[in-house]
Amino acid sequence: MANEYDNPKFFEQYSQMSRSKQGLEAAGEWRQLKKLFPDVSGGSVLDLGCGYGWHCRYAVERGAVRVLGLDISEKMLSEAKSSEGETVAYRLCGIENYEYPGEEWDLVVSNLALHYIEDLGAVYRKVFKTLRPGGVFLFNIEHPVFTAGVGQDWVYAPDGSPLYWPVDGYFTTGERVTNFLGCKVKKQHHTLTQILNGLISCGFVITAVEEAQPSEDMLSQPGMSDELRRPMMLLVRAEKR
């Protein structure tokens, strides 16, 4: 299955999301992720699956002096490119395929991209290698309770209102084909053990784990409440000490 982010229909839908129009402040997880963002002033930042480049630009605002955003979607990168300059570069490159030079980056950040990765452990090992001592790996991945269900959808009442979110097949890891923004999108389900223990077995020290809970303000916006009341996202901060 091709990368849906380059499918014109999917990309058009994605570009209509509030996070695409308004940026980080409109993203349900940002209120929590922002607090976990380390001091990057004078430092270097690698963004895995950077999309429009919001986190790259934020790193620059926070004083980073070298930022690289990687993504496999030309369409997403074309949105990011307007902010390319002396400090920020973007590269069309898979998270799995980047060369991860040893001790190169102070922060590796990844927002909502790692659930597209089949071999999460392999990426963790490369990230550990490419971080400088004291460096931070901060990511937000779709929550395993969200990715587990084969259909990844609510169970609905006869009147069409969502009844509950089923968690099934939890220990069957790997590929899920789900309906996202009206398109079929291939994602990878990883258990909580894989997500957290995978970091520990590489040598990372986990310093924060949070489940995204958007603010009441955001939840009260039309069309948002059902979508965001699921455990959708898991935020993790790990350090290479």
Ligand X SMILES: C[S@@+](CC[C@H](N)C(=O)[O-])C[C@H]1O[C@@H](n2cnc3c(N)ncnc32)[C@H](O)[C@@H]1O
> Which positions lie near ligand X, rule CB under 6 A?
3, 5, 49-52, 54, 70-73, 76, 94-96, 111-113, 116-117
Whichever of 23 and 169 has its CB closer to ligand X, that residue is 23
Residue nearest to ligand X (CB): 51
Q: How far apart, in whole angstroms, are the C-alpha atoms of residue 13 and residue 16?
A: 5
CB contact at 8 A, 104 and 132: yes
Q: How far apart, in whole angstroms, are the C-alpha atoms of residue 18 and residue 24?
A: 9
CB of 158 to ligand X, least distance (A): 33
Whichever of 233 and 238 has its CB closer to ligand X, that residue is 233
CB of 94 to ligand X, least distance (A): 4
Q: What is the dihedral of CA 142, 144, 145, 148, to 10 degrees?
A: 110
CB of 214 to ligand X, least distance (A): 15
Residue with tokens 């400090």: 87
Helix 192-202, helix 120-130: angle, nearest 10: 30
Whichever of 95 and 127 has its CB closer to ligand X, that residue is 95
Whichever of 117 and 212 has its CB closer to ligand X, that residue is 117
195 phi, psi to nearest 5 deg: -65, -45
CB of 221 to ligand X, least distance (A): 19
